[in-house]
Amino acid sequence: MSDEPLIPNGLSTELGARSIRFEVGEDIYPLDVIQGAAYLFVDRAYLFLDRPRDGRVTVVLKTRGPTDPEALEALAGEFANELLNQALRKNIGESNARIREFVMARAFFAADGPSTIDRLLAQLDEEELAEAPLDIAVPWQEPRNG
Amino acid sequence: MLTTAITVDPRAYDRERVGFFRYGRVADKVLITNEASEHLILTEPQFQAFYRGKINEGDPLYPELQRRGFVREGVDLDGLAGRIRRKKAFLKHAPHLHVFIVTLRCNQACKYCHASRADMDAVDTDMSVENAKKAVDFIFSTPAPVLNIEFQGGEPTANFPVIQFVVDYAREKNRYEERELIFSMVTNMTLMTEERMNWLIDRGVMVCTSLDGPADVHDQNRPFTGSKTAVFDHVVSWMDRFNAAYVARGLDPDFFHVDALMTTTRASLTRGRDIVDLYLSRGLRSIHLRPLNPFGFAVNTWKQIGYTMEEFLQFYRDTAAYILEKNRGGTFLQERMASVFLTRMLTPDDPNYTDCRSPVGSGMATLAYNYDGGIYTCDEGRMAAHMGNETFRLGHVAQSTWDEVRAHPTIRALAVASINDALPACVGCAYKPSCGIQPLHNYMFDGDLFGQRPRSRKCQEFHGVQTWLYERLAADADGSDERIFRRWTIQRSRPGTVPYPPVGAEASP
């Protein structure tokens, strides 16, 4: 194994003959981000995750077939890049969670009914009627107060 | 590969201004999508500015981002909810596609057969009139407003009297039920007669046949059992006779013609243009470039007829590009899988295609009735039973009620395994709103309903087709591809795909 880190910025990487070992800080990349990135490589590599100590996660990608140092280095770069993408996706998901829940609830659990505009107009009509003490706006067919 | 191939800075995301989106690389551009199936294709600098919240109101892109719900300011949440509700309107309905396996007998021995065929003397694999009657009664006990009864086999015409019984009995029941009742049949045409043809046309049973390609390809894939007699001529001559009979009855050939299904084998990979030309010459308006599934007989013949998914996708792209070229020349021909994705990408609706949906259609949009009266989630579930695995059996037409079948644990498991909002890889995939899952394919391939997306042939196929479509749209400077693509989204009632009633329409009691 080489001791030379391939990718700086919080990731330490070691290249083996058919494997790459990353050590990732969970303060920078939460576990679900690491797992999300690792999952996307299961077609090309066997994945081994471990937590050697608190706050640190190791990921070993072992290629499914023979490889060469250049391909391995490219794979390491791709994994590091994917960690960033998964982190961005996590940010987007968390920031919009409440809005998405609200929209989904509206989509699937709200009864099919009048549109927002129709509801507002109906509400205005009700308010206007409520403010008319002589019930002038009430159609004559309907019984009047008093 | 499902990795993203875009360099981003997660810290730069502007959570105050930018709404929810998924993203992915499409050629040299970046696709963004959201839950309402809205999409935009951005240049890389536009994308980098977008998620950093640096596209401001004065920017020509801003109104488009706002209208499609990608920015928070002024977002119409009710509008977004309405669009999602319309996209998922199929969730309100019970199964519409009811597949009758009227027999396992078949006179062909196709190299990729999934249907667990039996020899022509195995009459014990014919559905009885008694089971057929109970199956029809069961179907009418479901609340679906649209019922499509599809006859399959084996070769279904080998048990033609039961087909006749089902059609007449269902029509009689429907005099009181008033559902939208559709009949279709998938046949190899080799047992067709003039009398049967006229009966099918008179009763409105739409016919779909297998047509893999020119004679050499078709006959190589689909030989008669124990005979070297050519099959291809039977197929095309009966297609022509049906089509002429529709015209003679004054029916619009755009809607009334024999449809066809093709299965891609290794022999097809270099013959895409010939296959398309053949389909056009037979008056077909739709072609489905279907890859081979490594199940059934294909497991044994894979070395002879199989290929990698990369090889299939190369065939798909070349052939679909040729189909586009033909359309540009004024001829209409739609590629079926593309039309499913395009309907989701370009229109407010969903085609409710049962084999590529989230959640999947198995058990929820389709049910299959085996010759012995067993009820299964779909035809593949029935096939698993013939391989000794009864996981997908939901009951029996003589004993089970609709309430028992719809609440079956297997259906719930299939739903959980196919809601792509909650599956790894799908959850962050830009194609998630237009894609679907096939848990049965995962099960047959990996022995696991969930499977692993990056290793799934179905995922590779769906991803590859959608990538091609988005790449065409990204490079479509004059909008000519999109105009053709929009024509491909026109809905027609065909086996496996039935338009559902508009939002708000309630099921019949």
Indicate yes or no: CB of A106 within 8 angstroms of CB of B91.
Answer: no
Q: What is the pLDDT of residue A140?
A: 54
Which chain B residue's Cα is nearest to A111?
B504
CB B215 within 8 A of CB B230: yes
Nearest alpha carbon to residue B44 among B79, B75, B4 = B4
Contacts of A90 in chain B (CB under 8 A): 10
Closest chain A C-alpha to B33 CA, distance in angstroms: 13
Q: Residues of chain A with pLDDT > 90: what percent? A: 55
Which chain B residue's Cα is nearest to A106?
B81
Q: Residues of chain B with pLDDT > 90: what percent? A: 82
How far is the C-alpha of A92 from the C-alpha of A45, rounded, in Å?
28
> Is any Cβ of chain A less than 8 angstroms from the Cβ of B178?
no
Of B61, B87, B113, the residue at which a domain comes to its end is: B87
Q: What is the pLDDT of residue A9?
A: 53
The total number of structural domains that make up chain B: 2
CATH number at A69 reads: 3.30.70.60
What token pair was written down for B338? Answer: 């593309």
Within-domain flag for B331: yes
Q: At residue B353, what is the residue type? A: Y
Closest chain A C-alpha to B208 CA, distance in angstroms: 36
Nearest alpha carbon to residue B102 among B161, B49, B21 = B161
Nearest alpha carbon to residue B20 among B438, B323, B433, B475 = B433
Nearest alpha carbon to residue A51 among A36, A31, A33 = A31
> Is any Cβ of chain A less than 8 angstroms from the Cβ of B422?
no
User: Rounded to 5, what percent of chain B is helix, strand, coil?
Assistant: 45, 15, 40
Residues B255 and B312 in one domain: yes
B18 backbone dihedrals φ, ψ, rounded to 5° = -100, 130
| CB nearest to B10's CB, from A42, A44, A88 | A88
The total number of structural domains that make up chain A: 1
Within-domain flag for B18: yes
pLDDT at B499 over 60: no
Contacts of B455 in chain A (CB under 8 A): 42-43
CB B477 within 8 A of CB B113: no
How far is the C-alpha of B442 from the C-alpha of B446, rounded, in Å?
5
Residues across chain B? 509
What token pair was written down for B192? Answer: 């067709």
Within-domain flag for A144: no
Residues B368 and B245 in one domain: yes
Indicate yes or no: CB of A84 within 8 angstroms of CB of B425.
Answer: no
Neighbours of B237 (CB within 10 A): 12
pLDDT in tens, A91-121: 999 999 999 999 989 888 875 555 555 566 6
pLDDT in tens, B294-329: 777 777 888 889 999 999 999 999 999 999 999 999
B347 backbone dihedrals φ, ψ, rounded to 5° = -125, 165
Indicate yes or no: CB of A41 within 8 angstroms of CB of B9.
Answer: no
Q: What is the pLDDT of residue B252?
A: 86
Residue that the structure tokens 């919009």 belong to: A96
> Is any Cβ of chain A less than 8 angstroms from the Cβ of B502?
no
CATH number at B104 reads: 3.20.20.70
Neighbours of A15 (CB within 10 A): 19
By residue range, what is the domain housing residue A22?
1-134
How far is the C-alpha of B60 from the C-alpha of B56, rounded, in Å?
9
Q: What is the ipTM of this complex?
A: 0.87
Max Cα-Cα span within chain B:
75
How far is the C-alpha of B317 from the C-alpha of B311, rounded, in Å?
10
Q: At residue B463, what is the residue type? A: H
By residue range, what is the domain housing residue B328?
93-382
| CB nearest to A96's CB, from B20, B84, B504 | B20
Residues B253 and B163 in one domain: yes
Q: At residue A14, what is the residue type? A: E
